């Protein structure tokens, strides 16, 4: 089939269709991209690159956005892949803005390759559907899945989940995130982490809706993957000292939470339990919105810190709240929201997901209720570790005393880099005050995308849950009022009584060095020991022996690595590398040999022409 032919086929089938699910993602992506562009304007002002580099950067930023829009609006497999490719290439060039640094380039190429492994999986799945149904639009997938057996559906969906999992950062496909996010400029990290990974979520939600059998099996698999991703992501986030890498792992955690919601939703679909399905999907979609907002907020805050201090290592920082109070405020709000702490937006979506787990308790049989209980407990653990991670990060970066002397004066960033963060707080405030509205939107998206048969019971249950969310927001207001009153009373009382300022208590010792403060590593030490099995870290230290009466200077070095990268990704890639090394004799840099290759090729051509 020639290229024009292909164009005609695609055009005849009306390749674009926008439904509510598309709108939801378009709205989130556009908002975060706009905020990111505003922030990036100020952020890139700190670089002394050539104008052509800036132009190239913004071009790739725009291409990424266009690719995503194509992705969300298309109704055709080929156009979908085209949009996916545009997004992957655009974001690759956006990531390697600082391409003079070898590490950045390496991370970028890692990302580029992994996104293409994802494309490979998705293309294979699409090709399968196309070869059976003969249609290039999504109806082809629908008709393929309508006749597929349960096993075929499962394999097909797993190919897609793996493919989209690469983009979203579901373990074990997440290993590009912790490299790419720290390397990218902060506004690109914000859109990557906030919305580009959500393209994977969109793909899963979109294509899972086309299944006609076997949703429960796929749902259970996705739920378990989600739980593992969430736990793994947050445990790693608690360990890392590079604050942008910490945020990258935290993204993995939140993708896990979203995936849990999708898994519960699919289980609901499979069991014909519309209430469970709607709660699961609504929680996932709502968390997609919330996470996009507060992750962008956190990356903006992290970008401000990086611009002001030129380091991403939180062990070198401390006490920044005194010089950068506004950035500290932004980061604090982001930290509270991402931990799902009331009254901030994150609580609403996590609450809906908890609600779906509790709803699943009542399901028949043994396996689903047990799975729900364990998932709920895992979500509670994730919440707890997330609190540890963010108290640590906020505390080490912004509180206490500076751990090292920066070579320059650290001061607050320009307003142009703070306003985008305040802009992001507006939708967060909206979710806080009107959770019912947002819940209503996501439930109707879930119902229409999945064609759920909402009986009177389910409609009533969902309306009841919306009412609960209304009460939650009242709870938020009451809490805010109580906190306000207590703080006001406290400041009034403290003002009346005598106060004086002195050193921090140090057991009577008044001149401790700054380095004695608790660091990020020491804060997470016990946790690392508890989860040694999945948190590999190497250290280099020579212990003091008893023979050494006057110990000499010592140094201690420790590095944290990624369990899945070490045990799965690296063996595979090095295995492929080893096989390919065998063919290295072909490329040997010897000019004469290359001439022989050329000669051989020409001979082959002549021979084949005469023989055939």
Partner 1 sequence: MVSFILILIASFFFTGIVVRVKSLAQGRKGPVILQPMYDIWRLLRKGSVFSSTSSVIFQIAPSIYFASVLMAMCVVPLCGNQGLVSFEADFVFFAYVLAIGKFFTIIGALDTGSSFEGMGAAREALFSMLAEPAFFILIGTLGLLTGNMSFASIFETFHFGSYTSYAFAGIAAFVLLMICMIENSRMPVDDPKTHLELTMIHEVMVLDNSGFDMGLIMQATNMKFAMYSALIANLFIGNLEWYTSIGVFFGVEILCAIAVGMVESFMARYRMSHNAQFILVLTSLALLMFFGVMASQGRI
Nearer to partner 1, 186 or 356 (CB): 356
- Residue 27 touching partner 1 (CB under 8 A): no
CA angle 57, 58, 61 (to 5 degrees): 90
Q: How far is the CB of 425 from partner 1 (least distance, A)?
A: 17
The number of residues in the chain equals: 612
Q: How far is the CB of 357 from partner 1 (least distance, A)?
A: 8
**Of these, 387, 428, 432, 446, which contacts partner 1 (CB under 8 A)?**
387
- Residues between 297 and 326 with contacts to partner 1, criterion CB under 8 A: 318-319, 321-322
- Residues between 187 and 216 with contacts to partner 1, criterion CB under 8 A: none
Q: How far is CA 148 from CA 132, 154, 581, in A?
A: 10, 9, 41
- Residue 501 touching partner 1 (CB under 8 A): yes
Distance between CA 354 and CA 226 in Å, rounded? 14
Q: How far is CA 44 from CA 167, 184, 442, 490, in A?
A: 26, 12, 36, 43
- Residue 16 touching partner 1 (CB under 8 A): no
Map residue 532 onto helix, strand or coil: coil
For residue 194, give both structure tokens: 């906030």
* Number of chain positions touching partner 1 (CB under 8 A): 87
Nearer to partner 1, 502 or 545 (CB): 502
Q: What is the DSSP string of 541-606?
A: -PPPPTT-SS------EEEE--HHIIIIIHHHHHHHHHHHHGGGGTS---HHHHHHHHHHHHHHHH
- Residue 471 touching partner 1 (CB under 8 A): yes
Backbone angles phi and psi of 547, in degrees to 5: -70, -25
Contact 518, 392 (CB under 8 A): no
Nearer to partner 1, 214 or 345 (CB): 345
Q: What is the DSSP string of 369-412?
A: HHHHHHHHHHHHHHHHHHHHHHHHHHHHHHSS--SS--SS---P
Q: How far is the CB of 213 from partner 1 (least distance, A)?
A: 26
- Residue 392 touching partner 1 (CB under 8 A): yes
Q: How far is the CB of 184 from partner 1 (least distance, A)?
A: 28
- Residue 493 touching partner 1 (CB under 8 A): yes
Q: How far is the CB of 145 from partner 1 (least distance, A)?
A: 32
The β-bridge partners of 557 are 540
Nearer to partner 1, 491 or 594 (CB): 491
Contacts with 316 (C-beta within 8 Å, 6 or more apart), sequence order: 309, 403, 404, 406
- Residues between 280 and 299 with contacts to partner 1, criterion CB under 8 A: none
Which of the stretches 207-215, 250-258, 303-311, 379-387 binds partner 1 when contact is defined by CB under 8 A? 379-387
**Of these, 17, 120, 429, 516, which contacts partner 1 (CB under 8 A)?**
516
- Residue 366 touching partner 1 (CB under 8 A): yes
Nearer to partner 1, 10 or 388 (CB): 388
- Residue 246 touching partner 1 (CB under 8 A): no
Distance between CA 11 and CA 347 in Å, rounded? 44
- Residue 269 touching partner 1 (CB under 8 A): no
Q: Are strands 557-560 and 537-540 parallel, antiparallel or unpaired?
A: antiparallel
Map residue 74 onto helix, strand or coil: strand
- Residue 429 touching partner 1 (CB under 8 A): no
Which of the stretches 4-12, 124-132, 146-154, 526-534 binds partner 1 when contact is defined by CB under 8 A? 526-534
- Residue 517 touching partner 1 (CB under 8 A): yes
Distance between CA 73 and CA 64 in Å, rounded? 14
Nearer to partner 1, 169 or 435 (CB): 435
x/- contact string, 332-361, with partner 1 (CB under 8 A)?
----x--xxxx----x---x--xx-xx--x
- Residue 468 touching partner 1 (CB under 8 A): yes
Nearer to partner 1, 185 or 280 (CB): 280
- Residue 523 touching partner 1 (CB under 8 A): yes
The β-bridge partners of 48 are none
């Amino acid at each position: 089939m020639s290229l024009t032919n292909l164009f005609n086929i695609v055009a005849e089938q009306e390749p674009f269709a926008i439904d509510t699910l598309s709108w939801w993602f378009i709205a989130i992506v556009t908002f975060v991209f706009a905020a990111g562009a505003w922030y990036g304007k100020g952020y890139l002002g700190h670089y002394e690159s050539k104008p052509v580099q800036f132009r190239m950067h913004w071009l790739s930023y725009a291409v990424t956005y266009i690719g995503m829009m194509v992705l969300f609006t298309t109704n055709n497999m080929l156009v979908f892949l085209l949009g996916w490719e545009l997004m992957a290439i655009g974001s690759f060039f956006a990531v390697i803005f600082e391409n003079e640094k070898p590490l950045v380039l390496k991370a970028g190429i890692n990302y580029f390759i992994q996104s293409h492994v994802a494309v490979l999986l998705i293309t294979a799945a699409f090709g399968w559907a196309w070869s059976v149904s003969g249609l290039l639009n999504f109806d082809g997938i629908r008709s393929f899945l309508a006749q597929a057996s349960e096993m075929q559906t499962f394999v097909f969906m797993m190919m897609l989940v793996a493919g989209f999992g690469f983009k979203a950062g579901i373990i074990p496909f997440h290993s590009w995130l912790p490299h790419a996010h720290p390397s990218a400029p902060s506004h690109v990290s914000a859109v990557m982490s906030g919305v580009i990974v959500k393209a994977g979520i969109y793909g899963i939600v979109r294509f899972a809706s086309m299944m006609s059998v076997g949703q429960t099996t796929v749902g259970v698999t996705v739920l378990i993957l989600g739980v593992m991703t969430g736990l793994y992501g947050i445990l790693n986030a608690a360990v890392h000292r590079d604050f942008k890498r910490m945020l990258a792992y935290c993204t993995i955690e939140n993708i896990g939470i979203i995936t849990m919601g999708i898994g519960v939703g699919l289980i609901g679909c499979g069991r014909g339990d519309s209430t469970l399905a709607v709660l699961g999907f609504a929680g996932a979609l709502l968390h997609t919105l919330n996470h996009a907002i507060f992750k962008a907020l956190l990356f903006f805050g992290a970008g401000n810190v990086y611009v002001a201090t030129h380091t991403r290592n939180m062990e070198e920082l401390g006490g920044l709240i005194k010089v950068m109070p506004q950035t500290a405020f932004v980061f604090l709000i982001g930290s509270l929201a991402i931990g799902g702490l009331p009254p901030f937006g994150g609580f609403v979506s996590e609450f809906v997901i908890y609600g779906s787990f509790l709803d699943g308790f009542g399901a028949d049989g043994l396996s689903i209720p047990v799975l729900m209980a364990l998932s709920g407990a895992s979500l509670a653990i994730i919440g707890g570790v997330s609190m540890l991670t963010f108290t640590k990060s906020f505390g080490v970066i912004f509180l206490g005393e500076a751990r090292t002397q920066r070579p320059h004066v650290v001061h607050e960033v320009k307003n142009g880099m703070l306003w985008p963060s305040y802009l992001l707080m507006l939708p967060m405030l909206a979710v806080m005050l009107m959770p019912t509205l947002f819940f209503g939107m996501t439930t109707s998206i879930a119902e229409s995308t999945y064609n759920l048969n909402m009986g009177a019971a389910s409609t009533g249950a969902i309306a009841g849950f919306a009412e609960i969310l209304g009460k939650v927001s009242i709870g938020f207001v009451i809490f805010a009022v109580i906190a306000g009153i207590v703080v006001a009373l406290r400041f009034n009382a403290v003002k009346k009584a005598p106060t004086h300022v002195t050193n921090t208590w140090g057991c009577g010792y008044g001149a401790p060095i700054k380095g004695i403060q608790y660091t990020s590593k020491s804060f997470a030490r016990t946790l690392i020991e508890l989860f040694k099995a999945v948190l590999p870290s190497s250290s280099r230290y020579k212990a003091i022996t008893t023979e050494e009466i006057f110990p000499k200077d010592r140094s201690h070095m420790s590095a944290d690595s990624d369990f899945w990268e070490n045990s799965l990704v690296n063996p595979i890639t090095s295995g492929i590398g080893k096989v390919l090394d065998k063919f290295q004799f072909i490329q040997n840099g010897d000019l004469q040999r290359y001439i022989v290759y050329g000669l051989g090729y020409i001979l082959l051509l002549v021979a084949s022409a005469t023989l055939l």
